[in-house]
Each structure stands twice: as C-alpha cells, then as structure tokens.
Amino acid sequence: MIAFGLRNALRSLPRFALVAALIGVPFFLLLTLHAIGRAVDAYSERLLHGVNDTLQIRAAGSMGHLNMVAQSDILQQRIFDRVGQLPHVAKVEPYLLAMTPTEGHNFAMVVGVEPGDARRLESHGEAGSPRIIAGRDLMDSDRGNRVAVIGQGFARWARIDAGNLAGAELTLDLRRTHPVIFALDRPATKLSIVGIYASGYVFGDMQLFMPLDTFREIYGVPRGVSWLFVKADSAANVPLLEQRLRTEFGSEADVVAPVSAAEFQTTTARAVHRLTAAGMGISALLLAVVVYFVMLLVVRQRAREIGTLKAIGAPNRSIVAAFLFEALAYALTGGMLGLLSLLALGAPVAQKIFGPAIGPFVPAQYKDTLLQVLSISTGVDAERMTILVGAVALTALAGSAYAIVQITRLSPLQAMKHG
Amino acid sequence: MDSNASLIELRGVSKTYRKAGADVRALDDVDLSVARTGMLAIVGLSGSGKSSLLHIIGAMDRPTSGSVTVTGQPLDAVPESALAGFRLRTIGFVFQGFNLIPNLSALENVMLPLEFAGVAPKERHDRASALLVRVGLGTRLKHRPSELSGGEQQRVAIARALANDPPLVLADEPTGNLDSKTGQMIYGLLREVSLERTVLVVTHAEALAQMATRVVHLKDGRLETKS
C-alpha cells in the first residue's frame, strides 16, 4: 500500500505540482527563518567569543578617545608592557581611538588596531568582530600604511561605493571640531579604503579601523594606548586576572569586565529567536493546514474508492498507510521544493524581506543592519535535513490526522454513498 | 433446507432506517437459505430492499433484528474490527459501477485483495494473471480501467472478486451499466463462476435473472417468492 499511496499522489500531475508548491512556500519560510535563527546564533557566538575571557583596561575615568572633551587620557605604555607579563594573560590587544565629526551632532570613531586582532566595536560594549562585506580586511603587510577598513554607515556618509573600492579614499581632518570633539593640530590625512564591514548595528557601522602604527603616525601618539583588551588563558581565570589588574593598576586605570556587551547581545539574540521561532511555528501551522485541507479533499474525492477497498476486505491500517504515504509524498516534495528555494533565494529573501520585517522588533541600533551582518547559510547540512525530515513527517502526520480518523470511521457503505 | 448444507442462513431479518425523521422498513422478517453453490438472483424494484439484503449478507451492514449466518459464522458474533477480514476471506464483491481503482492496471486491481490477504508478491501476480486470463482479459493485464470497455471492467471486477477464492460472490446490479449483450456475457461468466461457489446477484432485470439457478423476489422488504 506504500507504493499505492505514492502513486495516488501522482494521479494528477497539475494538482501534485500545485499542492507541492502550496506546501513548499511555508517550508521555505520555515527553513529561511531557521537559517536566520542559526545565523544570529553564529553571530552571537562570534561576538561573545573574546568577551567571556577578556577584560578591558582604560585610563582611570577616561574613555581614552584622543580628541574627546574630558575623555582623552590614555594608558601609559608601561602598563601595556607590564600587562603582558602577568600570569594567566594569554594575549593583549592594544587599541587607540579618536573621534571625527560627520554631520550635525553625529560623529564616527577612528580606531587603530594591530592587523589580526579582533576589531571590537565602540559603543557596543567591547564585543564584536564585524564582517567584511566588500574589499578586504587589514593584513600584516598594511602596518604603517595609510589604509583602512570602514563601517558601511561611515562609507555611505563618505560616499564610498562598496561596489567600487578601487581608488576609494577618505580624508581625516583632525582639526574639525564638534561639541565633544576638540581639534588636534595635525595635518589632514588621506586614507585608502580597502574594505567595508557590516557590524549589525548602526553605531558599529560608523567606525573606521586602521593599523595601529598608522594611527600613531597620523595622530602623533608614539606611545600609550586608549584601551587594552586582556585575554585570559581561560574564562575561569578571569576573576583572578581582574583582581590582579585592579591591584596593579587600580589607581591609574579602570578595569572593565565587558559583561554588558554579552548581556546586550544575548538579549537581542533572544528577541530575534522569539521572532524566528514564532515565524517557524506559524509556517509549521500553515504546512499542517495545507496538508489538512488537501487530505480532506482527497478523502472526499475518493470516498467511493475507500468504500470499495473496505468492501473487498482492506484492513483500515492498509488504507490509512496508503493515505499517509500520499500525505508524506506531498509533504516531502513540498519540503524539497522549500529547500531548493532556500538554496536559490534564501539569502536575498532574508536580507530584503526578513531584515526590514524583523527590524522593528529589535533594538533601534540593530534596525536595518542586523540581517546585513548575518551570514545566512543556505547549504544542506545534517541539522537542516533533520529539521526538514522532521517537519515533513510531522506535517504529514498532523495534517492528515483528521482525514485518517474519517477514513477509519467510515463504513464501506457510508463511504460508497458519499462517493 | 438443512442449515448445515447452506452457505447463507437468514432468520427473521429486518432492517429499519431512519430517514427524514421517519422509520423506513427496508427488510421485513426475511427468512432465506442459500445453497453452497449455484447462482441466486434477488429481483425487485428499486427500493424493494434488495441492496439492503445484499449489504447485510455481505457484512457491510447489520440487521435491526434477526440473525445472519454466512459459511457457518453468525455475523452478529463477528466484531466490527473483524468484519473486513471476514469479507476478505469469505466474500467477493461485484458492483454496478465496477468500482475499480482508476490508477491501477487490471492486474494490479485484481492483486489488491491478495495483497490485503498477505499473499506473496510473486504468487499475487501469478494468481491475478490466471484469473484475468480466465475472464478473457489475458491480453489486457496492463490496461487501466479507463482503457477498458464497461464489459471488460466488469470482468476485471469479477476477477478481483474471485482473487481470494471466496465461497460467496455478491453482485449488486452487475449489468446495470452495460448494454444487454454485454450484460448477458457477464451473467454467463457469473453463472460459470457459480459452478464452484455461491453467486448472489441483485437485479431488477427479470430477463437476465432467469439465467440464475434460483430466483427470489423482494417487494417492500419482504420475500415474495421462495423457490
């Protein structure tokens, strides 16, 4: 009866195609939303990596921004040199930061980092490692060169086209001021923009990274650092290390455990997860509803056949198996169609449709930009196939449950009369 | 008739339906014994209760009162859940509208009851082929119902009814959708089948019924003629 059920699904090819398409759409939604949820997870993991085992040191009471009013004190070089020698320190990453006005009361951040170190985003706590969306990242060979990677928001403001980075330049005018930015008596500098990144939130996209050596040269800061990120050899040793740093440098430096970034990201990820889970639930419901109506229609259309089968002695289990496998054939074909649609359209649809749709439900600084930073994976893997197969089986079972109850309750006579 | 020698025994069988708020008596105190071989025609006008009688004998419906015994098995003692198995082993059905499964070939249609009975695929194929050869459709095994004439479809239905070699074949107006010549041919086939089992035919076609070995008439749910 399995083969019989599968053949029944193919009785009318146009109807089979229509049903598969009707099932394929919610499957596509389900798989795409799952892909978004997974991308958010991966993004969160990336952001949180380096937070749980990392501490930040700044000059006491200062943001460490070279040209920010009342926040321009930086850490002395000896602290940088000393921190690296402390026990349980796995890595020290120095940052230099300055601000540059953009328009109105807005400004962008300019950051010097060692190429290869994590590019953490100001204003978003200290998490993050933005994704390059055009051009390339900083490399070791860039040290000392006037090159930079820039956030997509900053690039938009500077009219730098992501599609054409050849010859893209940005001029940093250190004399420009702003209510909280004072002028630096340094010459304006042109930087070649070699890459554009997306951070996932508005503030993070208004930032520029250049090699630390280049920053020192442009801003005239041969020694000292704005921030030090101190990576412990394990998350378990962070409290010990924090205590040691406070003991050693407490009078001249603030030691910050960047848990706020983790909490912030976790909260945002949770919001997106709720949305995608709700969307997946609605998609699954849609799937079951489509299969429900299709199978109800099929049972009504074939009532006489059901009656005939019962009359000639078919046990209920055989008839049920045939209809169940027919429902499975519909659901599986719809599922494969949904998967193929995901492969072909998943990423662009997620960006173009789900991004703006999810935007209003996440914190403002994520609006419109969150989906841009996510790497939506549309490949076929074990997890996705498990979800697909599970959804196919559940959809076929749940959607055809009522039809199956009807089949088992119908007497042969009733069935043949209905037919 | 000695009940031990009968294939079917009906004693005081009545059937009342509720229709539009009123009781309709489809069968009224019917007594009937049917021999183990031969062809019995139940003749009556539309609404006389002949189909109700067929359905009750075929274990597709229960009487309101009275007892029905088929192949020595009192049907009121057979639970609902076991009726399908009883029909599978004991009864072959032939319907007026043929009731073949449209997307299965003639061979596959005949193989269906064998599959329900758990017969191995190879044996199913061989037995179904032999039956179709027997009803003169040896060259039409792979044809679907839509590719067969009405007479051919009814012959497939008869082959399907014989698949599990049941002692009883019930035919409900088997020629109702056929021209008279084809109808005669089908009756001839049923008559031949009845040499080795009981064939019970319900019909309103008096002329064709005369081909049966025994004819009973039903009127207003009561047997008029017992022979």
In chain B, residues with a C-beta closer than 8 Å to the C-beta of A305 are 99, 101
**B58/A308 touch (CB, cutoff 8 Å), yes or no:** no
Q: How far apart are the C-alpha atoms of A260 and A334, rounded to whole Å?
A: 44
Q: Chain A: residue nearest B55 by CA?
A: A413
Query: Tens digit of pLDDT for each residue in A124-175?
Result: 544 556 788 899 999 999 999 999 999 988 999 999 998 889 999 999 999 9
pLDDT exceeds cutoff 70 at A356: no
Q: What is the band of A419 on the pLDDT scale with cuts at 50, 70, 90? A: low
Q: In 3D, which of B160, B192, B197, B157 has the Cα closest to residue B175?
A: B157
Question: HSE-up of A193 (CA within 13 Å, CB side)?
Answer: 28
- Backbone torsions φ then ψ of A377, nearest 5 degrees: -85, 125
Distance from CA of A339 to the nearest CA of B (A): 30
Distance from CA of A412 to the nearest CA of B (A): 6
**B160/A312 touch (CB, cutoff 8 Å), yes or no:** yes
**B112/A309 touch (CB, cutoff 8 Å), yes or no:** yes
Ranges of each domain in chain B: 36-50+80-225
Q: Chain A: residue nearest B89 by CA?
A: A313
Average pLDDT, chain A: 86
**A313/B84 touch (CB, cutoff 8 Å), yes or no:** yes
Q: How far apart are the C-alpha atoms of A228 and A55, rounded to whole Å?
A: 8
Architecture of the domain whose range is B36-50+80-225: 3-Layer(aba) Sandwich (3.40)
- Mutation test of the interface with chain A: which of B60, B80, B93, B153, choosing the one with the most A Cβ atoms within 10 A? B60
Closest CB to B93: pick one of A4, A8, A311.
A311
| pTM (2 d.p.) | 0.71
**B115/A311 touch (CB, cutoff 8 Å), yes or no:** no
Closest CB to B60: pick one of A11, A318, A413.
A413
Map A319-355 to HEC letters.
Answer: HHHHHHHHHHHHHHHHHHHHHHHHHHHHHHHHHHHHH
ipTM: 0.92
**B88/A312 touch (CB, cutoff 8 Å), yes or no:** yes
pLDDT exceeds cutoff 90 at A377: no
Q: What is the band of A256 on the pLDDT scale with cuts at 50, 70, 90? A: confident
